[in-house]
Amino acid sequence: MKSIKLIVVTFIIAILASCGNGDLDVETTDTTKKQQSNELKEKVKNLDANFIESDHHGVYYEIFVRSFADADGDGIGDFKGITEKMPYLADLGIEGIWLMPMFESPSYHGYDVVDYYNVEKDYGTMEDFEEMLAVAEQHGIDVIVDLVINHTSSDHPWFIESKNDEDSKYRDYYTWITSDDERRNEKGAWDQEIWHYYGGSFYAGYFIGNMPDLNFDNEEVKQEVLDVADFWLEKGVDGYRLDAAMHVYGEGEVPENVDYKSKNVLWWHEFRTELQKTYPDIYLVGEVWSDPVTISPYFKSLHSNFNFEIAERILSAVKAGDADGYTNYLEYVYMKYNSKYTGFIDAPFLTNHDEDRVASQLHSDSELKLAADMLFMLSGNPYIYYGEELGLKGVKGGQGIWDMTRRLPMKWSDDLSDPLETTWYTNILNKDVPSVETQLQNPNSLLNHYKNLISIRNANIALEKGEFKAYTMDGVDEPTYLKYSDEEGNEQLLLVIHNMSNYELTINIDTEHVEQIIYNSSDSTTLTIMDPQSTLVVEINNDYSDQYIK
């Protein structure tokens, strides 16, 4: 009897011990994950930016190839069309062009790639692309291309094999989980479904099911991506716009307690570090659609990152005729960026291909010109969305159209007589917008306003690269700030004032301090009175700089 009791007691103790060890294993696992996340944060904190010194500054021009210029007459824009319009781009004064996706894809937009080593057949041949690169170089224009590697198309050979053969090496090119995985019910950053069912398992697709996400915990995937990037750099592209840069390790895709934000920053640092060994002049700009705190660490990894919040603030200020807090917010943003890497290159813009166009949000020529003034006074690399310089309109469409109507054809001539017009989508929305042909002949056109701004910007180092400092003028409650460069041999101090209101603004600039007027958006604005919705930029004589920079 005693032996039976002893066996029962021993059995119970064993069960209790087993349960206790299970809880301990869970606690140990959670603790380990937290430690790993802390280690990742520490790695990002101590990350050596290790950028190779090169000059990437200038204005960039975003092109949706399908809509820009059609050289073969099929109604679809192509590489030859861009080649023929290269003189227009050079005359505009830009530093470089950003081509939206141009790899082979089953969709009109190209953000679901099926072949990373071939160009989209609608846009021409590889020879056409290479010719475009050569002509761009002749005109002194850099070319960066959209690199979409967060995900592939579901028609990509890698994914087809991944979903159909669990023993294939390509299975692990994507992230697959079973229904009992802790991540199964997790949602993405904007509460979207990110897990998609196929054949008894679920795969990650952060944006949509036909765009399955690559698994960057797989070293082979990383190498595949580096090989793709190397291939096009060898062809002659100058860099990349990195699509969905903050979602490579996506919220809800990685296990809980894993610091996906730090993993993203570290991956892009690894990506740039490898590529710049062979291509030291490479330029990378990231799409990190978030706030300054989230964006700032990426400046340790990428040369530039798009400034989404400044875009929103510029448009809101112009709409309201009031930019309250604008300069203080800029100081805050630059402080955050500067705390991570002092050589950061901001990438401000007004709108892009995923947003309603600026001309559909603002409603007068004066408003469009003021928004452009505000954009081009900012340091870094401003980005123009093709046709923005004309006032092209575009808004989100309904079911089945979505962003097509934000990516409408460029308008080269009023009667569509230019042989390079694209016609893949009927462009009724822009029938009353003056064309390139018309605007070039009008010195007061929006196009010539853009050309003038870019020219002035290119000629003044403080506009292009200068440091920013909010400035207060007595009696002036409008955005006022200083842009200054203390680079040896290129010292320059500029005072910038935007009158956002619909009323004249009285200002008081000591004429003795003024070296010259750099930019005046209105002929009747003076050093004492500014016209409504106008901008004034004056250069301060260096003898008086200490009265402004303290």
The number of angstroms, rounded, from the C-alpha of 303 to the middle of its chain's C-alpha atoms is 11
Mean pLDDT of 243-252: 96
pLDDT of amino acid 389? 98
Same domain for 435 and 498? no
The reply to whether 15 falls in a domain is no
Same domain assignment for residues 309 and 383: yes
The CATH code of the domain that includes 224 is 3.20.20.80
Which residues make beta-bridge pairs with 481? 470, 496
Q: Between 255 and 24, whose confidence is greater?
A: 255
Kindly state whether residue 48 falls inside one of the protein's structural domains. no
Under the banding of pLDDT at 50, 70 and 90, the label for residue 506 is very high
pLDDT in tens, 309-353: 999 999 999 999 999 999 999 999 999 999 999 999 999 999 999
Mean residue pLDDT of the chain comes to 93
With bands split at pLDDT 50, 70 and 90, how would you rate the model's confidence at 37? confident
pLDDT score for 545: 93
Interatomic CA distance for residues 389 and 382, integer angstroms: 13
pLDDT at 166 over 90: yes
Using DSSP's 3-state secondary structure scheme, residue 239 falls into strand
Q: Look up residue 85 and give its two tokens.
A: 């319009």
Residues 354 and 314 occupy one common structural domain: yes
With respect to residue 543, please indicate whether it lies within any of the assigned structural domains. yes
pLDDT level of residue 36 (50, 70, 90 thresholds):
confident
pTM value is: 0.93
Secondary structure class of 308 (helix, strand, coil): helix
Select from 429, 462, 495 the last residue of a domain. 462
Q: Are strands 239-242 and 142-147 parallel, antiparallel or unpaired?
A: parallel
Q: Identify whether residues 493 and 375 lie together within a single domain.
A: no
H/E run at residue 201 = strand 201-204
The answer on 326 and 408 residing in a single domain is: yes
Query: Mean per-residue pLDDT for 42-55?
Result: 90
CA–CA gap between residue 334 and residue 487 (Å, rounded): 19
Q: What is the mean pLDDT of residues 454-481?
A: 94
Backbone angles phi, psi at 29, to 5 degrees: -60, -45
Contact 216, 248 (CB under 8 A): yes
**Phi, psi dihedral angles at 421 (to 5 degrees):** -60, 140
Chain segment 257-296, per-residue pLDDT in tens: 889 999 999 999 999 999 999 999 999 999 999 999 999 9
Beta strand segments in 307-408, E: 345-347, 383-385
Would you state the pLDDT for residue 6? Answer: 39
Q: Count CB neighbours of 503 within 10 A.
A: 11
Residues 272 and 325 in one domain: yes
Looking at the structure, tell me whether residues 408 and 337 fall in a common domain: yes
pLDDT at site 317: 97
Q: Is residue 27 part of a domain?
A: no
Which residue in 503, 510, 495, 512 sits closest to 530, CA to CA?
A: 503
Catalytic residues: 243, 287
Identify whether residues 345 and 421 lie together within a single domain: yes
**Spatial separation of the C-alpha atoms in residues 131 and 125, rounded to whole Å:** 10
Which pLDDT does position 162 carry in this prediction? 98
pLDDT of residue 401: 82
Among 434, 462, 490, which residue terminates a domain?
462
Q: Given CA atoms 532, 535, 90, 303 in this order, what sign does their dihedral have?
A: negative
Do 261 and 343 belong to one domain? Answer: yes
- In CATH, what number is assigned to the domain containing residue 508? 2.60.40.1180
> Looking at the domain assignment, is residue 32 inside a domain?
no
Query: For 53-94, what is each residue's pLDDT tens digit?
Result: 888 899 999 999 999 999 999 999 999 999 999 999 999 999
The H-or-E segment that residue 195 falls in is strand 195-198
Residue at 255 is within a domain: yes
In the chain, the amino acid numbered 148 is V
Q: Which residues contact 242 (CB under 8 A, 6 or more apart)?
A: 147, 149, 268, 284, 285, 286, 287, 302
128 found inside a domain: yes
Give the structural domain span for 479.
466-547
The pLDDT of residue 427: 81
Amino acid 417: pLDDT: 87
The C-alpha atoms of residue 506 and residue 1 are separated, in whole angstroms, by 104
**Sign of the Cα pseudo-torsion (224, 230, 233, 235, in order):** negative
Hey, CA dihedral for 66, 450, 477, 325, is it positive or negative?
positive
Q: Per-residue pLDDT tens for 12-23?
A: 344 344 444 555
Q: What percent of the chain has pLDDT over 70?
A: 94
Domain count, the chain: 3
Domain end (from 420, 439, 462): 462
**Residue 210 located in a structural domain:** no
417 plus 309 within the same structural domain: yes
419 and 445 co-located in one domain? yes
Each residue of 379-435: pLDDT tens digit? Answer: 999 999 999 999 999 999 887 788 999 999 999 999 888 999 999 998 889 999 999
What is residue 236's predicted lDDT score, i.e. its pLDDT? 98
Task: Let me know: does 525 contact 537? Beta carbons within 8 Å.
Answer: no
286 and 359 together in one domain: yes
pLDDT at residue 113 is higher than 80: yes
456: which 2 tokens?
């002035």
Nearest-Å Rg of the Cα atoms of the chain is 27
Give me 408's structure tokens: 């409408």
